[in-house]
Structure 1
Amino acid sequence: MRKSIEHCDQCKQAFLRGVFDSEGWVTLYHGVSVCNTDITLIKYVQNLMNTLGIPTSGPYLCRNRGKSFISPTNGRTYQRKKDYYVLTMSSKANLTYYKKVGFSINRKQRKLEEYLIKRPAYGGLQLTLPSLFPILKSVLGY
């Protein structure tokens, strides 16, 4: 399986897109994160991200096993059976993730774009600059 995933950058990107589509999320404050109970999978994802030039932080223990929680869906109380680990990215890495991997789920992709626009100090503004260059060239006569 690893040979197929690590075959080329496009294969790595497709695998990561699938993992982040199913296990990842975007918040407007922190950007993209991914969480799973399998620490081996999280470390593998981290390794693939690093090979694509997308630095990550973690994995961090984000939810302890044995702890009770109330489901927002049905209001029932459950007890976690496993530890949950999270992998996060710096704000600059979110832009690189957007360019190289992204999401195939439209709502997650739009939320990432919204994050990048609202955080211009961390590269969001760079998304609009390439489209402005032709206009600037014509106005300035370059």
Structure 2
Amino acid sequence: MKGGSRPVQDVVNYIAGRLKFLLNEDERGFGEYFAMLERLAENRNLLPNIKEAKDMLTQVDVTKFASYQWGREDGLKEGLEKGIEKGIEKGREQGILMERVRLARQLIGLLDDKTIAEKTGLPEEEVSKLKLH
């Protein structure tokens, strides 16, 4: 960036401003062109200049940018996948615990609490509580 970053920033601001002016109310079109500008800036290490230009255009709803929507959709999809994975794991753990309790109940009266605890993997205190219910 010869000549300092201010001339570069002025060019970026001009481009962003002209895009906004030319596309007027077409927020989607502006978002698509601004996303292209973001990619070009990333390739040339000019992202700080793009950020300043975006800040300059505060009246622009960045949530309508295509790149914002894509990132949001990807984030939601990833969050949903992780949530499903956690739910499945929690369900497995609950199923295992329920099976251990079921088995322990069947063994009550046949074995002592310590042996039931060893065989089921339940704490001995839990086996004792099962006798009360």
Common fold by TM > 0.5 = no
Structure with bigger helix share is 2
TM-score between the two structures when normalised by the length of structure 1? 0.31
Structure with bigger strand share is 1
TM-score between the two structures when normalised by the length of structure 2? 0.32
Question: Higher Cα Rg: structure 1 or 2?
Answer: 2
